[in-house]
Amino acid sequence: MKELDPLLHSQLRLGIISLLISVKEAEFTHLKGETNATAGNLSIQLQKLKEAGYIEIEKTFKDNYPQTTCKITKVGIKAFENYVKDLQQYIKPKK
């Protein structure tokens, strides 16, 4: 059986990618609220996803507040699709 993408096979990173795949873009604060993660931890995991090219992170200022917007990339979508495909093998093993 294929091994699951270790980058996605983590509770928080999988949560982030699943959220980003369903929306166009989301702010850091939104991701934080939806995943119930701490800001520090979320930053680390986002950075890892960014380094792998799965997501894009854009830092801007909005009314003097720093704003971090995250968006899934094509690479990220592909990785997510593969992950789900691989996952199916584990759930319904082929005979």
Partner 1 sequence: MEEQNINPEQSMQIIQSMINRAQSNVSDNGFYFIFWGWLVFLCSVIFYITLKMEMQYGWLVWSLMPLGGIFTGIYSYYEHRKYNPDAQKKVKTYAEVYLGYLWIAFGISLCTILFMMGKLGESTYPLVINLYAIGTFVSGGILRFKPLIIGGAFSFAIAIVSFFTPFENQVLLVALSLLVSYIIPGHLLRNKFKNQ
> Which residue ranges make up the site for partner 1 (CB under 8 A)?
4, 9-12, 14-15, 18-19, 21-27, 29-30, 33-34, 37, 41, 45, 62-63, 65, 83-84, 87, 90-91
Q: Shortest approach of partner 1 to residue 17 CB, angstroms? A: 8
Q: Is 11 in contact with 41 (CB distance < 8 Å)? A: no
Phi, psi (deg, nearest 5) at residue 71 = -145, 140
Q: Shortest approach of partner 1 to residue 52 CB, angstroms? A: 15
Of 45 and 49, CB closest to partner 1: 45
Angstrom distance (rounded) from CA 87 to CA 34? 23
Angstrom distance (rounded) from CA 16 to CA 45? 9
